[in-house]
Amino acid sequence: MATAEFGSHNWGMVVDVDKCIGCNACVIACQAENNIPLNSQDRVERARTISWIRVERYWEGDFPDAKARFIPIMCQHCENAPCEPVCPVYATYHNSEGMNVQVYNRCVGTRYCANGCPYIVRFFNYWEPVWPESLRNHLNPDVTVRSRGIMEKCSFCVHRIRRESRSARSAGTEIADGAVQTACSSACPTSALNFGNFNDPDSKVSKMKEDKRHYTLLDQFGTDPNVIYLAKIDADKKVGSGAAASHD
């Protein structure tokens, strides 16, 4: 999609796989920031866990020289998203800022969108969320607590984007590069996750996007995602690796 079709912002993320150490700090930050229900043992055993971002581990090479690699995967906010046209109530759509939006109070839980998503990043809420008494005060008042029977997914922490947009508008200025960060990108200790405006040619993510190591997950589906990955650097071969990590 051409840049001109967007507004002043086209929010996206660049993930440098070479920097990811698999610490899962992004997963915990996302869970706390976005009021994601706790995953009990029962939910894990029934394959009904909810996690807006996950760090997948895969192995590269043959034993005994196999190496563990890590890759964070979240909603790719595809510009040609297969989840959008199948929703019968228009609960998910692509907005003018490059984000795939999920409107919770429209969703009727058909799960068509989850069936159409090749990245497996949409989750159905099978139960009403319940938190222990000691954790109920940790809920983020800026984020909706989703009820049973709807789909949910990564929102690029849209509440943070809206907060910074209001502040910039009040001050009569533009949003500075790096002023908006998602929970996962701000928690990453190695700066493997980078969030910003692709419409700004001088932004950090725009420059990273032009790196020769760049690739997208499952590009054979033509979803045109707004999450760009930079391949792992193999010090032995002196070439980038990691494109094989496309989610199967």
Q: What percent of the chain has pLDDT over 90?
A: 76
Averages of pLDDT over each 10 residues, the chain, 248 residues: 59 96 96 92 90 92 86 96 95 93 94 95 93 85 93 96 93 92 96 95 94 94 96 69 45
The pLDDT mean for the chain works out to 89
Q: Is 193 helix (H, G, I), strand (E, B) or coil?
A: strand
Cβ partners under 8 Å of residue 207, min gap 6: none
Domains in the chain: boundaries: 3-245
The pLDDT tens digits of the residues spanning 69-90 come to 999 999 999 999 999 999 999 9
End-to-end CA distance of the chain: 25
Q: Which CATH architecture has domain 3-245?
A: 2-Layer Sandwich (3.30)
Cβ partners under 8 Å of residue 218, min gap 6: 118, 119, 246, 247
Q: Is 151 helix (H, G, I), strand (E, B) or coil?
A: strand
Task: Give this prediction's pTM.
Answer: 0.88
